Amino acid sequence: MKTAPSVVLHLFLQTARLKKKRAILTIASIAWGTVTILLLLAFGQGLSDQMRKNEQGMGRNISILWSGQMSKPYNGMPAGRTLAFADDDAAWVQERMGGFATVIGEIQKGRVPLAYGKKTVNGHVVGVEPPYRQWRNEVPVPGGRFIDALDFQRRRRVIFLGDKVAKDIFGAEDPVGKTLLVNRSPFLVVGVLEHRIQDSSYMGPDENQTFIPLTTFEAMFGRQNLDNLVLGVPEAARMPAALDRLRHLLGRKHGFDPTDNRAIFVWNTVEDNKESAAIFLGLELFLGIVGALTLIVGGVGVANIMFAVVKERTREIGVKMAIGARPRWITGPFILEASLYTFLGGLTGIVISLVIVTLLGLIPLDSSEVMGYLGHPHISIPIGVATTAILGMIGLLAGYFPARRAAGIDPAETLRYE
Amino acid sequence: METPSTPIIRMERIQKIYDTGKIKVEALTGIDLSIHKGEFVAVVGPSGSGKSTLMNLIGCLDTPTDGEYHLGGEAVAGLSRDGLADVRNRRIGFVFQNFNLLSQISAFENVEMPLVFGGRKVRERRERVRELLERVGLGDRMEHKPTELSGGQMQRVAIARALAMEPDVVLADEPTGNLDTGSGGDIMSLFSELWAQGRTLVVITHDMSLARRAGRIVEMRDGRIIADGAAAA
C-alpha cells in the first residue's frame, strides 16, 4: 500500500530540484540571520568580558586606603590631627581580622635609579607584602615569579618588574635571573609582569612599577610609614563590613573616631564594579533588543519566501488534490522543506560564525589598543541553535498554515485560484 | 461488488447552493442522475446551467449541499478527507479545459503523479507512464515540459494522466474548449476510442460535434436536467 513518507519525499525532491535558487536563498537567509545574531552577541559577550577583565586588572574585590586628616575630636583629642599609617599597621590589623579580610601594606618611592649594564633609568619602586600578588593581580610571565614569603622574611634583594619597565631596561633580553642595580645595590630579577590592560590605578599602571619585599624596602630606604593599605575580601558583599572593622581597629590603634570619613580615604573598587555591572547589563539588554529585532527581520524574510511559495502553488495544490493527493502529502513537503533548509541554513550560519571568530581569535589581544578592548568574541552554540530554530519555525509556520488551509478546502475552489 | 445493474454513479436529489454571505446561488436544484459502466455521457447546456458544478460534484472536487451521491456503490458523504483523496485517485480521472498540468515538471512526471499517490512502485510507474504516453501518441515527448507542448499535446498528456490509475470514470470538462478544430478533433477521436475500449466517460461540452459522439446526452438548464436520452446519431 501507499506509504506517506515516500510520497512526501518524492514530491519534496521534485520541487527541490526545480527550485534550487529558492532553496539557496532560503538557506542563505537563515544562515545570514544566524551569523548576524551569533556575531552580535559574541562580540557583545567578548567586549563585556574583556571590559570586566580590564576593569579588574588592578585586582578583584579590593579597596585602597590612604591616611588623611581627622575631622572629629576623639577621646579628648582635637580634630585636625594628621593620621599616618605605621609600618606595622597592616600586620596588626590582619592579626585581628583573621580570615575575614586581607590587609596589605604598601610603600613607594619614585626616581630611584635602576641600572643594568650601561643603561640607567629612573624607576618607581614599591615595597609590598607577598599577598599583594594575589590581590593586586600581579601575574608573572611564565618562567618568573612574584615576591614570596621567604623573600619577605629574609629581606632578600629581589625585584619583580612591570613589563614596560622590563622592556625599557632589558629590551629583548629576558630579565629573569639578571642582576639589576637598584640605588646601586644589586637586586636579582625574579619575574616580569604578564602584560594586562589595567583600567584603573593609583600610582600609575603596574607595568611602570617595580616591586621589592616591604622588609627589604624598609631596610634599604630607612623605616617609613606605609603609604597606603590594600584591603581584599573573598566576596564583594563583605567589603562594607571589612572596611567598617578596619576603621574601628585603626581608630583604636591611632586614636580617631571610626565614623570619621576623613581620617582614612577609601577607594572601594567594588562600588565601581557595581556601577559598571549596571552598564554591562544595559549593554547586554541593548544587544538583546538589537538581536531580537534582527531575528524578526530575518523571520519576516523567511516567512515571506515560504508564504510566496504556497501562494504560487495554490493552484498546483488544487491539481494534486484532484488527482488524489491526501492533505498530508500537500503539507508534508513544506514541512520537510522548511526543516531541511533550516537545518542547512543554521549549520552554515554557525560554521561561518565559528570561522570568523576563530580567525579573529588568531589576532593577539595586545596587538592593538582596539583588540585589547574588543576581546575575543565567544560563539554560543545554544544561541545559534535557538536562532536557527526560531527562524525555521517562523518559516515552517508561514509555509505550513497556508498549505494546510489550501489542502483543507475543496479542490474545486483551489483550482479556480489564479 | 457492482453488478451490471448497479450504476457507477448514482445521484439522488443532489443540490448545491453557493452561499457567498450576501446572496445564495442555487447552482443545482435536485439532480437525479445514474451512469452505468461503459456509458459515454455528454452533458450539454448554456453557461451557468450548472454543468461544471455537476462535474465537480461527480469528481468529488466539491461537496453537495444536500442529496445522496454513491460512487461505485459507496456513499461519498461518509468519506474522510483522505478517503476522498483516495476516491479521486482511483475511481476518477480528470481532464480539464485548461489542462491543469504542473508546468514545471515533464510530461512523464505529470502522468506519473497519480501513480505516486496510488503507491505504485518506481518500475511499475515507469512502464505504465511510457505505455500511456505512447498510447496518446506522445512517446517521443516524455521529457518535454507542458510549456514545450502544443495545446493538443498538453490535453493528450492530461488524458494519459487521467487514465493512469485505470479509473472507473473519466470526467472531462470542456476538453476541446481551448483547442483549435484540428487538435480538438484528435481529442474527440481519442475519446471515441476510449469508449470503444469499454471505458466510462462523462464529458461536459459546448461542442455539439463532440456531444454527438457520445451515447447519451444530458441537457441542463438553470441547475436542472431538462433532457436525458440517447444521442441522435
Chain A residue numbers touching B85 (CB-CB < 8 A): 321, 324-327
| Domain ranges for chain A | 4-56+274-416, 62-269
Does the residue B151 lie in any domain? Answer: yes
Interface probe with B: pick from A21, A319, A323, most Cβ of B within 10 Å: A323
| pLDDT at residue B5 in the model | 63
Is residue B232 classed exposed, middle or buried when 0-12, 13-18 and 19+ CB atoms within 10 A define those classes? exposed
Does the residue B130 lie in any domain? Answer: yes
Q: Is A368 left (phi over 0), alpha (psi -120 to 50) or beta?
A: beta
Q: Which residues pair with A351 in a beta bridge?
A: none
Q: For the sheet containing B9-19, what is the strand order?
A: B24-35, B9-19, B66-71, B74-75
| pLDDT at residue B233 in the model | 52
Chain B residue numbers touching A11 (CB-CB < 8 A): 116
Chain A residue numbers touching B95 (CB-CB < 8 A): none
Question: Which among A18, A326, A412 has CB closest to B56?
Answer: A412
The whole-angstrom separation of Cα B128 and Cα B114 is 11
| pLDDT at residue A315 in the model | 86
pLDDT digits over B167-199, tens only?
A: 999 999 999 988 898 899 999 999 999 999 999
The answer to whether A27 and A392 have CB atoms below 8 angstroms apart is no
- Alpha-carbon distance B3 to nearest alpha carbon in chain A (angstroms): 26
Confidence of residue B232 (pLDDT cuts 50, 70, 90): low
Residue identified by cell 535557538 is A386
Confidence of residue B142 (pLDDT cuts 50, 70, 90): very high
Distance of CA B177 to the CA centre of its chain: 14
| pLDDT at residue A418 in the model | 59
The answer to whether A78 and A393 have CB atoms below 8 angstroms apart is no
3-class state of residue A247 by DSSP = helix
The answer to whether B218 and B43 have CB atoms below 8 angstroms apart is yes
The answer to whether B151 and B98 have CB atoms below 8 angstroms apart is no
The whole-angstrom separation of Cα B200 and Cα B170 is 6
| pLDDT at residue A415 in the model | 84
Question: Which among A14, A319, A408 has CB closest to B109?
Answer: A14
The whole-angstrom separation of Cα B14 and Cα B16 is 7
Does the residue B13 lie in any domain? Answer: no
Cβ atoms within 10 A of the Cβ of B180, count?
A: 11
The stretch B103-130 carries a mean pLDDT of: 93
| pLDDT at residue A198 in the model | 83
- Alpha-carbon distance A287 to nearest alpha carbon in chain B (angstroms): 45
Q: Do A324 and B100 touch (CB under 8 A)?
A: no
Q: Do B114 and A7 touch (CB under 8 A)?
A: no
Residue of A nearest to B162 (CA): A323
Q: What is the DSSP letter of B147?
A: G
pLDDT digits over B82-103, tens only?
A: 999 999 999 999 999 999 999 8
Half-sphere exposure of B204 (CA within 13 A, CB side): 24
The whole-angstrom separation of Cα B39 and Cα B33 is 13
Range of the domain at B159: 102-166
B98 touches chain A (CB under 8 A): no
Q: What does the block give as the cell for A159? A: 625585584
Q: What is the DSSP letter of A83?
A: P
Residues of chain A predicted below pLDDT 50: 1-2
Does the residue B120 lie in any domain? Answer: yes
Confidence of residue B2 (pLDDT cuts 50, 70, 90): very low
Q: Do A324 and B82 touch (CB under 8 A)?
A: no
Does the residue B157 lie in any domain? Answer: yes
Distant-in-sequence, close-in-space partners of B85: CB < 8 Å, separation ≥ 6 = A321, A324, A325, A326, A327, B117
CA angle (A249, A255, A260) in 5-degree steps: 75
Question: Which among A11, A322, A328 has CB closest to B61?
Answer: A322
pLDDT digits over B6-46, tens only?
A: 799 999 999 999 887 888 888 999 999 999 999 999 999 99
Question: Which among B101, B104, B118 has CB closest to A2?
Answer: B118
Burial A221-259 (b: 16+ CB within 10 A, else e): eeebebbbbbbbbeebebbeebbebbbebbbeebebbbe
B95-to-A397, B100, B112 alpha-carbon distances in Å? 34, 8, 15
Half-sphere exposure of A410 (CA within 13 A, CB side): 12
Count of pairs with CB atoms under 8 A, one residue in A, one in B:
75
3-class state of residue A162 by DSSP = coil
Chain B residue numbers touching A319 (CB-CB < 8 A): 100-102
How many domains in chain B? 1
| pLDDT at residue A133 in the model | 92
Question: Which among B59, B85, B100 has CB closest to A319?
Answer: B100
The whole-angstrom separation of Cα A306 and Cα B126 is 32
B113 touches chain A (CB under 8 A): yes
Does the residue B136 lie in any domain? Answer: yes
